[in-house]
Amino acid sequence: MIIKYVYNKVLMGLLAIWSLNNFMLSPAFAQSGGYRNWHMGRWMMGDWGMGWFGMIFMLLFWVLVIVGIVFLIRWLVQNTGSRGSSGVGTGSQAMDILKERYAKGEITHDEFESMKKEILR
């Protein structure tokens, strides 16, 4: 019962939009053949259209959309892809080697501390 009610409301809304659209476009369809062989009438870049002004803004819009997509992709790649290959992994690997050398006795405690400060800097 509720589905039928919603269906009727949607159908009536679409019918209202279609009727309003036909009413608003009726002056354009009522024009006689005075369009000087234009295929789309005055609506396409003609007397009532945007002309060059609209074409420039259309190009500007698409350039901005493409530039925005490129910056979004670059930002996503920088923030997600570079985490694993940052200096943190290299520093921890160097620290592991340093600890191993200290444990084997290859370096003294003072050398260990000075190299540790260099790695963590």
Q: How many domains does the chain have?
A: 1
Domain that holds residue 92: 86-121
Assigned domain for 25 exists: no
Assigned domain for 32 exists: no
pTM of the predicted model, to two decimals?
Answer: 0.33
Assigned domain for 13 exists: no
pLDDT, one tens digit for every residue, the chain (121 residues):
777 787 778 888 887 887 776 666 666 555 555 555 555 555 555 555 566 677 788 889 999 999 999 999 998 888 886 555 544 555 688 888 989 999 999 999 999 999 998 888 7
Assigned domain for 117 exists: yes
Contact 119, 94 (CB under 8 A): yes
Phi, psi angle pair for 100, to nearest 5°: -65, -40
Assigned domain for 3 exists: no
Assigned domain for 91 exists: yes
Assigned domain for 100 exists: yes
Assigned domain for 7 exists: no
